[in-house]
Each structure stands twice: as structure tokens, then as C-alpha cells.
Amino acid sequence: MFDLVHVWVIRQLTLGEFSSRQAVLWKAVAMAAKIAVFAYGLNVLSHFILVGLGLLPYPLGPALVVATMLTPPVSFIVAVIAYSIVGLAIYDLGVSRQRFETLSRTDMLSGLMNRRAFLDTFEAARGPVALILLDIDRFKSVNDTLGHKAGDDVIVQTANCLTNVLGPDEAIARIGGEEFAVLLTGQGTEQAMEIAEAIRASVEGMRLEISGRPVSISVSAGVSDGVAELGFSELFSGADRALYLAKASGRNRIVHAKELPGMPLSASIPDDGQVGIERGRLSA
């Protein structure tokens, strides 16, 4: 009996039962009604048992009237209060856990997914996928010339640009200092390249002003596609090497992993620390 009650209570107190404070109240009322009926039945049964044993010290009729008048409302009120307290505690625990889970999967600066959340999303993907790696060109020069606050602003604006192009429901992550990743599901090479180009053009078209100075930025991107079952490492390797080639080829461009055969790993990339300031405009 105890085990049955224990299992029933645990089932009632699962986090999913209390999705809102209103849900807690309704659940408390429903549970209190059941408890009131149970308490009343137990009270009546105990009176009849005492009568059968000759132990009831007062007449049965008046006793049942009193039990009917007091037991249901008192037990109902007590149960509502007790269940509400427990339910609200569980609701608050669920909210805190959800908030912690969200924070643990979010990059605090950009508001995008972090690397862990992105990897989890990839692991859950099936079928055709495309991976786009993006890197802000000459980002180091922004930090060195305008300061780290300016660099943070550039990252935030770039993240906003990615969200505007792709929408809030796509898997977009900041996986490094100035490096971002996009996971596209059900997309082939052509579609992935078109989306990557849309991102590149949108970033290039941004008009930023930092510390009173107009700043233009660009991104380079590497694209790799295949089926999710290939694994993240293989797709990431292709996209990463494609990104390397895009940077080495002059930046502000898109390269697909299919363009990689014969690429020397020692390809020279121009110094990201170089920056030109002309007519009050920083080319980052």
C-alpha cells in the first residue's frame, strides 16, 4: 500500500505537472478534492468500525452529521494549502533549472548557442546537413585599434546579423572568439552556398559606428555538407579548411570544402593585425 501511494505521489509531483502557477493552483484544487473525499470516507468508515466494536462513545447519527459538515471542507482547505506550497516549490525549481540549462547552453556575449549546445544540436540531426563556419576578418585589428569594448560590439552586431538573415529558429552558435557556426538541415551544396553568401553580403552591408567612427567589417566562410551520420568532426574539418582557404585567398569570400583538393596546409594568410584607416573609416 505504501509503495502504491509513494509511486502515485511521485507521479503527481513530476516537474511536467507544474508548467505555470495557474497549473499549480488547478492541480492543487483537483488533488484537494480527492483528498477530501478520501478523508471523509475514512472518517465514516472509522465510525462504523468503532460502532461494530462497541467503542463509539457517542451516538452514530450525530457523529456522522458532524463528520459530514467538518471533514470535507477542513481537509480540502488544508490539502489545497499544502499541495500549493509543494507545487509552487517544484514550479520554482523547474524554472530555475530551465534558466540554468539555458544559460549553460548560451554564449553570454552574443546571445547565440555556445559550442556545447551546437554540438548537441548536430548530434540530434539526421540526414542531409550543411555546416558553415564564419570568421570575422581582421578582428584582432578592431580590438587593437578601438579596444575590446569595440570588439564586443562587433561580435554582438555580427550575431544579430546572422539571426536576421537566418531567423531565430536556426542553429547558430558562437564557437570561438570571432568564429561562428551555422547548421543547416535538409540543405545541399547550392542552398548552403547561397545562404553563406547572403550572410557574407549582409555583414558587409552593415553600417557600424563605434566610438564615433564608422566601421566596416566582413566575414570569410567555409562550407561543408553531407549527411549528419558522417559525424561532426569530418564536416567540421572540411569547413575549417575551407575557411582557412577563404582567409588565405583574400578574405570576405566563401569557399566550399569541395574546392580543397591540392590545397597546401601551409598556405599563407595575410597578417590579421594589419589595418588601414583612411578618410576616418576603419577597414576591419
Instruction: Supply φ then ψ for residue 131, to 5 degrees.
Output: -115, 125
Q: Which pLDDT belongs to residue 271?
A: 45
Q: Which pLDDT belongs to residue 158?
A: 95
Instruction: Supply φ then ψ for residue 231, to 5 degrees.
Output: 100, 150
| Catalytic annotation present for 178 | yes
Q: Which pLDDT belongs to residue 17?
A: 66
CB 105, CB 121: distance < 8 Å: no
Do 217 and 87 reside in the same domain of the chain?
Answer: no
- Measuring CA to CA, how many Å separate 223 from each of 58, 129, 259? 87, 11, 10
Helix axes 232-248, 115-124, angle to 10 degrees: 120
Helix axes 21-53, 60-104, angle to 10 degrees: 150
* Dihedral sign for Cα atoms in the order 102, 104, 110, 115: negative
Q: Which domain holds residue 226?
A: 115-283
pTM for this one?
0.65
The two most distant CA atoms of the chain are separated, in Å, by: 106
Do 53 and 173 reside in the same domain of the chain?
Answer: no
Q: Which pLDDT belongs to residue 278?
A: 30
Q: Is 6 exposed, middle or buried (0-12, 13-18, 19+ CB in 10 A)?
A: exposed
The string of pLDDT tens digits covering residues 5-19 is: 566 556 655 556 667
CB-based contacts of 178, cutoff 8 Å, min separation 6: 135, 136, 139, 151, 154, 155
In a domain, residue 29? The reply is yes
- Round to whole Å and give the CA distance between 109 and 100: 16
The residue from 70, 104, 138 where one domain ends is 104
In a domain, residue 109? The reply is no
Q: Which pLDDT belongs to residue 276?
A: 32
Do 81 and 219 reside in the same domain of the chain?
Answer: no
Q: Which pLDDT belongs to residue 121?
A: 92
Do 138 and 185 reside in the same domain of the chain?
Answer: yes
The residue from 76, 104, 132 where one domain ends is 104
In a domain, residue 263? The reply is yes
- Round to whole Å and give the CA distance between 75 and 42: 12
Do 90 and 171 reside in the same domain of the chain?
Answer: no
- Round to whole Å and give the CA distance between 247 and 267: 10
Q: Which pLDDT belongs to residue 101?
A: 73
CB 165, CB 202: distance < 8 Å: yes
Q: Which pLDDT belongs to residue 5?
A: 57
Find the catalytic residue in 101, 170, 178, 204.
178
The string of pLDDT tens digits covering residues 158-207 is: 999 999 999 878 899 999 899 999 999 988 899 999 999 999 999 999 98
Do 95 and 137 reside in the same domain of the chain?
Answer: no
CB atoms within 10 A of CB 222: 27
CB-based contacts of 214, cutoff 8 Å, min separation 6: 207, 208, 280, 281, 282
Do 218 and 151 reside in the same domain of the chain?
Answer: yes
Q: Which pLDDT belongs to residue 15?
A: 53
Do 210 and 74 reside in the same domain of the chain?
Answer: no
- Count of domains in the chain? 2
Do 81 and 126 reside in the same domain of the chain?
Answer: no
Question: What band does 237 get if pLDDT is binned at 50, 70 and 90?
Answer: very high
In a domain, residue 110? The reply is no
Residue 107 has pLDDT above 50, yes or no: yes
CB 101, CB 139: distance < 8 Å: no
Q: Which residue has the higher pLDDT, 264 or 127?
A: 127
Do 89 and 227 reside in the same domain of the chain?
Answer: no
List beta partners, residue 213.
210
Residue from 228, 201, 219 nearest 130 by CA: 228
In a domain, residue 169? The reply is yes
In a domain, residue 234? The reply is yes
Do 146 and 236 reside in the same domain of the chain?
Answer: yes
Do 249 and 144 reside in the same domain of the chain?
Answer: yes
The string of pLDDT tens digits covering residues 47-94 is: 888 888 888 888 888 888 888 888 888 888 888 888 888 778 777 777
Residue 109 has pLDDT above 70, yes or no: yes
The residue from 73, 104, 135 where one domain ends is 104
